[in-house]
Amino acid sequence: MTYLRNLAAAGGDLVRAALAPLMGRPQNERGVRLPADQALLRMYRQFAFSTEIREKIIAIREMEERDGRVRKIHGRVCRDTVRGGLVMQFPDTGASTLRKEWEGFTRRLMLDRAPKLHSDARGLVAEGNLALQMVLSPDQKQIDAAVRMPGETIVPLVDDSGRFADVSKAYEQRNTVTGAVTATFAAWQLQLARYDPLNFDDLGCMGRPFLSSAVETWRKLVMTEEDLVIRRRQRAPLRLSHVLEGADETVLETYRKQVEGEKGEITTDFYANKKGGVTAIQGDANLAEIADVVHLLDSFFAGTGVPKGLAGFTDGLARDVLEDLKRDYFEEVDFIQDSLAGEYEMAFRLHLLFRGIVAGPDEFRLRMATRRTETPNQVADLGLKLLGVGLPEPMVWEEMGYDPAKVIEAREAWAAEADPYPPTGGAAAPTVKVTPGNAPKGESATSVGVPGSNGGKGRS
């Protein structure tokens, strides 16, 4: 912490912004951030981990183990979140030092590998909290690893103001059986991303799993489906009523054993030497009525935020309705992307501090390369429209998810390699035309005209 304090004294506001919310409570703040209903639970948490969070995480793990639908939901959300990987955007090509540090940072932390990103996204989605331990190198000059810790074992040590009482002892990891303290972490040493906490400003308020509010509905759904199977097994088969008039118990038992012994054989006739008959009793005729199961299934998916059609349940679902539901779902995915990218950006800024580099908030930007609310065609269309209204090309590339500095370097390298005698006047800019209301759903259509060899003058 002495090293960080020295950097904070030297860097001023930039370092303070980079380390937020590691700093203490603002000087002029009054009152407490702790809700009244959480005060007693927060006091108990000083002596043990949160049993409520652990119970939710264990329940969701059980759901994922027993039900493929839950596993598919988690897998779909995590896959959509990390699709395309991370992209670091620099405003100009002069940030060679920052780019070099970022490339080494991603290699050491394995952020360029899809399984690592998927695992971290799963921790944020399935457990509600992504706790990354920043592991330093032996010389304590850089961050060598970001180890994902189990979120249910982490206890924030905060006061009533919602801030860490001691930033050098901000988190504790406790044994779930004995409650003993396993390890203690400083505020910078454990980066904690929280999904949908009740109060973001209260650092002791942990996140909630993505499916936390759907647990009870899932239990009712599973119970109803099990009852449905039992009912079908008991009431669906065809049954036969055998009547042997005047038969005593011995004769009836012998007849029963004979008939039941022939059930495995293909037989359609029964024979008896006494007056009686065999009457067929049909199975339950209302087995097709499963409105209660459909209601619980709809309620479950409504609470998950994932459209039911994406999980394969497409009966009676209109295509335009599915498109609207997908848009709402992808907005949720974009929020998870921003939370995950913000966690990695905070870790990278801490790494820069250990390297003796203080980077301003506008010197780089970390984001997921692919925004799920936009299709590739929509991204290209948006870029052309922004270019058509006069935005600078670096801003357009940044909006499309590319690193402007890399694009400029690639264009310059390609121009120098492709044509040894480039034209002095430069290439003519393409003509971009936007036609409102000429695309599906009332969107505008974009057409691009590229000048030919005669500069767009047409045929002579």
| pLDDT per residue as tens, the chain (460 positions) | 444 444 444 444 444 444 555 556 666 777 777 666 666 666 666 666 667 778 888 888 888 888 888 898 898 889 888 888 888 887 766 678 888 898 899 999 999 899 999 999 999 999 999 999 999 888 888 899 999 999 888 888 888 777 888 888 889 888 877 778 889 998 888 989 999 888 888 888 888 899 888 888 888 888 888 888 777 776 666 677 777 777 778 887 888 887 777 666 655 566 666 676 766 666 565 666 777 777 888 888 888 888 887 777 777 777 777 777 888 888 888 889 989 998 999 899 889 888 888 887 778 888 888 776 666 777 777 777 777 777 887 777 777 777 777 777 777 777 776 555 555 555 555 566 666 555 555 555 566 555 555 555 555 4
Rounded-to-integer distance, Cα 324 and Cα 330, Å: 10
For residue 403, the SS3 value is coil
Burial letters for 373-391: b for 16+ Cβ neighbours within 10 Å, e otherwise? ebeeeebebebbebbbeee
10 Å Cβ neighbour count for 10?
11
Residue whose tokens read 């929280």: 194
CA-nearest of 376, 385, 411 to 84 is 376
Strands 276-281 and 239-244: antiparallel
Assessment of whether the complete model's pTM goes beyond 0.75: no
Question: 236 in helix, strand or coil?
Answer: coil
Closest C-alpha among 33, 336, 335 to residue 201? 33
- Contact assessment for residue 401 and residue 369, using Cβ atoms and an 8 Å cutoff: yes
- Tell me if residue 422 falls in helix, strand or coil: coil
Quick one: 457 exposed, middle or buried, by C-beta within 10 A (0-12, 13-18, 19+)?
A: exposed
Q: Which amino acid is at 432?
A: V
Q: What does the pLDDT read at residue 2?
A: 47
Angle 370-376-379 from CA coordinates, rounded to 5°: 80
> Do 124 and 195 form a contact (C-beta atoms < 8 A)?
yes
Beta partners for 279? 241
Residue pair 350/143 in contact by the 8 Å Cβ criterion: yes
- For 459, the enclosing helix (H) or strand (E) is none
